[in-house]
Structure 1
Amino acid sequence: MAPKRSRDDPISDDKPAAEPPIKKKKGFTVGPANLPDGTYRRKAQKIKSDLIQKAKVKKAYAKVKAEELASAPSKSVYETIDHDTEKDGSSPQEQTAVEMHPERQAMLNEPEAEKAPKPDHPQDRNSRRKRKPKPSAFAKEMAIAEQRRKAAEKRREEREFRQKDREAMARARRPDQHGKRRLGRESQVLLSRVQRMVGQT
């Protein structure tokens, strides 16, 4: 077996192993990095700048708050209440009673008036809360389409009536077996025509 090759540069114990270089923090990203310049990229940049601004404000607020807490001596809530009552010599409830407005005091002293009975219709309250229906995006177009449909229906009815009227008049004008005109049938057709004309005006 071949002897092991000795190292030319033995590693000293006091020198630590080479540490990998510290990577620089990249930061954070908002949206994909390969957006073309345009609306979406500007939107992403705006969101990122807003987040950064909010973080800075939050950090500054935390710093100021920490300074305020460090500078102010800590007192419990109970101590401050006791201290205030000792100064004034009266309880906080007595103070509020003294400071009450005369009109309010008069209102409190008056006997309570009878309450009006509640309405039996609970649905009246609910009807007030109901929202109006959201306006349709195509309401105008739908109204125009409805008008067109009604106009087409009216024209169709007119056509059908004229066709029936023509056929009825043709039947009425046909002579009977003796070659005479049938005035009774003609009068019925003319009467229906007049009724329709009067009904339209």
Structure 2
Amino acid sequence: MGKRSADDAGSSAAAPHKAKRSRTGIRAALPTSDDAWRRKLERAKESNVIRAKTLQTYAKVKARALAAEDGKAASKQVAGEEEAAAVAAPASMHPERQARIDDTEEAGGSGRDDKPAERQRPQRGPGARPAKRPQSFFQKAQEEAAQKKAEAEARQAEFARRAAEREEARARRARHQKAMAKARRVDTHKGGRNGGGGGDNQRRKLGRESGVLLDRVRKMMGK
């Protein structure tokens, strides 16, 4: 290795020196714990102020409501006392009116009976219908319930009758099919007429089949 040239030495001398950043500047730029506590205290103060205002408003509204209720209770009590006093103290009657009432009582006192007069009911003839008393709400409801119950029983009876008819018709069809199956029973005979290997020979019982068909025709004509 040789010595460094003069150009290399000049270039290294001309390079600027980079200044280091102090730690105090970094700390000043970063948020400190004091700032966080300060913001927390400010938020707590704001929430306390809002809460105090809310409590004051609620206290005012409650006081107004209590005052209004007390006023209503006092007015009701005064009205009740006045009404009781009016009922207790009899109203004074005018002297002329009192004199007329006394004269009327003296004039009609001799012909007045002690017992109240009975109402005269109109006499009805022998063929007249008795007067119909107005039905109460309970009687109407009872009659409606009885009518609905009767209608429900009638519907149930009709349903049972139709079900019985369907069951009877189903049994009749089953009997008819069974009888027809017996009438059309197949008799198999192996071997043909000449002793060969012919097929099955089906024989229908016409007497039994005719009887079943005749019963069916009679039932259709009877309907």
Tell whether the structures are fold-level matches, with TM greater than 0.5.
no
Higher gyration radius (CA): 2
TM-score, normalization by structure 1:
0.31
TM-score by length of 2: 0.29
